Amino acid sequence: MNSQTIQKKYGFKFPFKPDPLAAKAFRYCKGKRLLDVGCGEGADSAFFAQKRKRFEVTAFDVNKEYLNRFRAYRRDQKLSNISILERSATTYSYPPNTYNVINCLLVICCMKRSQFERIIGPLKHSVKPGGIIIMSSRNYLDPELKESINSKKAIEPNTFRRKEDCCQFIYFIERNRLREVFHGFEILYYYEGFVPCKYNQHPKHGDSHIICRRRK
Ligand SMILES: C[S@@+](CC[C@H](N)C(=O)[O-])C[C@H]1O[C@@H](n2cnc3c(N)ncnc32)[C@H](O)[C@@H]1O
């Protein structure tokens, strides 16, 4: 089934395709346990679980509807190596030294800056030494930041409330910030700049992307 047929069959809101950053990171992803933080409708989790059957994928999100659609897909595809949980990234109890891979794409920008600051330490320590973290966020270049500054009051630096879309908040990560928080990790790939919208909703976005490895 191609991505459009899958999208139609399960009623997915977004194209059911892996994020290009997850696809780029795949070759670095070894071991067994993979955590997908804010998995959305599950396209990345399904990608990892299908590419490597020995991955045990734990995927969580706060959005019940997304998770229900993902559960239907998992059932039909018999992806018994994926566990799907309704959890929040801000309260999840990240077990130390546990995962070989943590994938967290476009989720830290769905929280307040202070929440990101609180979870980043536990999230970093939840990956095993030698393990990989894949993370992306909307950033200071995103056209929505300018619009937000002109039309709304920031509730925290670079953080605004949102009325529509999937998230309550939007945080635009600062220049170089993603690299700085992974100080001490080996940086395998880093990018800050403009990217096309993978959901086909906007002409372009400003994003920060990182693939990094916890040193042994
Ligand atoms: C822009 S989507 C990204 C989804 C997926 N990671 C992807 O790359 O397509 C943001 C996702 O984060 C989820 N989300 C927002 N706040 C969250 C939180 N505190 N904990 C877990 N998921 C959250 C939303 O429900 C949504 O599925």
Q: How far is the CA of 161 from the centre of ligand 1 (A)?
A: 15
61 lines ligand 1 (CB under 6 A): yes
Q: Is residue 158 part of a domain?
A: yes
Question: Is 38 a domain residue?
Answer: yes
Q: How far is CA 111 from CA 9, 24, 42, 216, in A?
A: 31, 25, 19, 30
110 in ligand 1 pocket by Cβ < 6 Å?
A: yes
CATH number at residue 103: 3.40.50.150
Is 9 part of a structural domain of the chain? no
- Residue 2 domain-assigned? no
| Nearest atom in ligand 1 to 38's CA | 22
Which of 85, 73, 104, 87 lies closest to 178 in space, CA to CA? Answer: 104
> Which secondary structure element, helix H or strand E, spans residue 212, and what is its range?
strand 205-213
Domain assignment present for 11: no
In a domain, 1, yes or no: no
Tell me if 15 CB under 6 Å of ligand 1: no
Helix boundaries (H) for the chain: 3-10, 20-25, 43-51, 64-77, 113-126, 143-151, 177-181
Please tell me the total count of domains within the chain: 1
Q: What is the DSSP letter of 140?
A: T
In the prediction, which pLDDT does 165 show? 67
The Å distance, Cα 85 to ligand 1 centre, comes to: 13
Q: pLDDT tens digits for the chain (216 residues)?
A: 888 899 999 999 999 999 999 999 999 999 999 999 999 999 999 999 999 999 999 999 999 999 999 999 999 999 999 999 999 999 999 999 999 999 999 999 999 999 999 999 999 999 999 999 999 999 999 999 999 999 999 999 999 998 766 789 999 999 999 999 999 999 999 999 999 999 988 999 999 999 999 999
Is residue 50 in some structural domain? Answer: yes
For residue 62 and ligand 1, the question of a CB distance below 6 A is answered with yes
* Atom of ligand 1 at shortest range from CA of 115: 19
With respect to residue 148, please indicate whether it lies within any of the assigned structural domains.
yes
Q: Provide the domain limits for residue 25.
A: 17-213
**pLDDT tens, position by position, 53-69:** 999 999 999 999 999 99
Is the pTM higher than 0.95? The answer reads yes
